[in-house]
Amino acid sequence: MDSVQTYVEVLKWASSFLKENGKDAFLAEYLLLERLGWNKTQLLVSFKKIMKPVELKQFREDIAQVVSGIPAQYVIGSTEFYGNRFKVTTDTLIPRPETEELVELCLQENKAPVLNVVDIGTGTGVIGLSLKLNRPDWHVTLIDISKAALSVAADNAKKLALDVDLIESNVLTQYKGSKLDIIISNPPYISYFEEAVMDESVKEYEPNTALFAEDNGLAVYKDIAKEAQYHLKPKGKIYLEIGYLQGNAVKKIFQQAFPEKQVDVIKDLNKHDRLVRVG
Binding residues for S-adenosyl-L-methionine, by number, are: 121-125, 144, 186
b/e burial code for range 71-80 (CB count within 10 A of at least 16 → b): bbbbbbebbe
Residues of the chain with pLDDT under 70: 1-3, 192-198, 203
User: Could you tell me which of 269, 217, 203, 262 has the C-alpha nearest to residue 236?
Assistant: 262
> For the segment 116-139, what is each residue's pLDDT rounded down to a tens digit?
999 999 999 999 999 999 999 999
Please count the CA atoms within 13 angstroms of the CA of 268 that sit on its side-chain side.
20
Cα–Cα distance measured from residue 92 to residue 113, given in angstroms and rounded to the nearest whole number: 30
Q: Which CATH architecture is the domain 90-278 placed in? A: 3-Layer(aba) Sandwich (3.40)
pTM, 2 dp: 0.92
For position 202, what pLDDT does the model report? 73
For position 208, what pLDDT does the model report? 77
For position 151, what pLDDT does the model report? 98
Binding residues, by number, are: 121-125, 144, 186-189
Q: Do β-strands 116-120 and 180-185 pair in parallel, antiparallel, or remain unpaired?
A: parallel
For position 206, what pLDDT does the model report? 75
- Domain parsing of the chain, residue ranges: 7-68, 90-278
> For the segment 54-111, what is each residue's pLDDT rounded down to a tens digit?
999 999 999 999 999 999 999 999 999 999 999 999 999 999 999 999 999 999 999 9
Phi, psi (5° rounding) for residue 108?
-65, -35
Binding residues for substrate, by number, are: 186-189
